[in-house]
Amino acid sequence: MISNGIEDKICILKEFYQVLKPESILSFDDHHMKENEILEKLTSEGLFRLVDKKDDQYNFTKIA
């Protein structure tokens, strides 16, 4: 079971980073979070950067 703690979210992002190939796309859509929250959470660790946004879908790429 996954809790809502920020440590767990960071752990999950780090796992995504490990398994994704370079230049892979991580797509994210969460209608419960505001745009600035999504961008902060997905880019704060320096693992991913935003490459595209379409409607409520955010596409990030792995930073090498």
pLDDT tens, position by position, 40-55: 989 999 999 999 999 9
Q: For position 32, what pLDDT does the model report?
A: 85
Residue 46 has φ and ψ, to the nearest 5°, of 75, 25
| 57 part of a folded domain | yes
Q: Is the dihedral of CA 20, 8, 1, 28 positive or negative?
A: negative
The three-state secondary structure class of 13 is: helix
The three-state secondary structure class of 15 is: helix
Domain that holds residue 33: 6-62
Q: Is the pLDDT of residue 64 over 90?
A: no
Q: Which two tokens stand for residue 34?
A: 């505001």
| 27 part of a folded domain | yes
pLDDT tens track for 5-43: 556 888 999 999 999 998 899 999 888 889 999 999 899
| 49 part of a folded domain | yes
pTM, entire model: 0.80
> 60 burial class (0-12, 13-18, 19+ CB within 10 angstroms)?
buried
Domain count, the chain: 1
| 1 part of a folded domain | no
| 11 part of a folded domain | yes
| 46 part of a folded domain | yes
Q: For position 2, what pLDDT does the model report?
A: 47
